[in-house]
Chains A and B, each alone.
Chain A
Amino acid sequence: MKNSIKVERAKKNWTQEDLAGKIGISRQSINSIETGRFIPSTVLALKMAKVFGTDVETIFQLEKTD
């Protein structure tokens, strides 16, 4: 699964720390998700979409291997 968290953060001019604070997780966890090392739960993905003001599919996309 790929994601566009970095792009969405750049649009808002947010650091990983800013995003982490808004959804209540650690900066390291944001980094793990952003780099694809951890796939978040539906709840966390929805929280992320909410703070970015977009839908989940915009942030997370399935790849052919998924």
Chain B
Amino acid sequence: MEPIKKQADRKTLIYSVLWAFVYMGCLIVLKKAELSKSAGILLSFVPTVFFVLFIYHYIRSISTMDEVERRIQLEATVWGFSLGLLLLMTLGLLDLVVVLKKEDWSFINLIPMFFLFYVIGIFISRRKYNGA
């Protein structure tokens, strides 16, 4: 049981790093290189393949977790999703009354916040169940 879990965790880590590198690579190329519009659009979808692989392995690793760990992941995801939704709703409403600077509030800048919200969720739910 334990080797299967370790193997699933290792694969999740590998694919998350792979996806992060591909995403960062595409981001840098799209920002720096002068590509044609069609090449740029095509490159924008390249990280999707790696993200799907990462999510597939992440879900598989969740299936190897015990029920307490699954609850922690579930609550962390709920926190991450809720805070992300709250951020988008608030920005949407603010956008109606004030002009938000694109360089501060572009999609690219919002992405790390979603990861931060998930990490906050993990921290809260781990404290709740593990008391750590």
Whether A29 and B68, one on each chain, are in contact in the complex, defined by CB atoms closer than 8 angstroms, is yes
Interface residues of B in 6-34 (CB under 8 A from A): none
Give the docked Cα–Cα distance between A25 and B65 (Å): 8
B1: Cβ under 8 A from any A Cβ: yes
B130: Cβ under 8 A from any A Cβ: yes
A26: Cβ under 8 A from any B Cβ: yes
CB-CB nearest in chain A for B65: A26
B3: Cβ under 8 A from any A Cβ: no
Whether B68 and A38, one on each chain, are in contact in the complex, defined by CB atoms closer than 8 angstroms, is yes
Whether A29 and B67, one on each chain, are in contact in the complex, defined by CB atoms closer than 8 angstroms, is yes
Name B's interface SS. Answer: helix
Min distance, Cβ B4 to any Cβ of chain A, angstroms: 11
**A-B contacts, CB under 8 A, total:** 36
Min distance, Cβ A17 to any Cβ of chain B, angstroms: 12
Given A24-B1, A28-B130, A31-B130; A38-B71 close (CB under 8 Å): yes
- Residue from the list A24, A31, A37, A44 in contact with B128, Cβ < 8 A: A37
Whether B66 and A29, one on each chain, are in contact in the complex, defined by CB atoms closer than 8 angstroms, is yes
Give the docked Cα–Cα distance between A28 and B131 (Å): 9
Min distance, Cβ B92 to any Cβ of chain A, angstroms: 37
List, in ascending order, chain A residues with CB within 8 A of B69's CB.
Answer: 26, 29
Q: Which B residues are within 8 Å of any A CB, using their own CB? A: 1, 66-69, 71, 128-132
Given known contacts A24-B66, A28-B68, A37-B128, what 12 new A-B pairs fall within 8 Å (CB)?
A25-B68, A28-B132, A29-B67, A29-B68, A31-B130, A31-B131, A32-B130, A32-B131, A35-B131, A38-B67, A38-B68, A41-B67
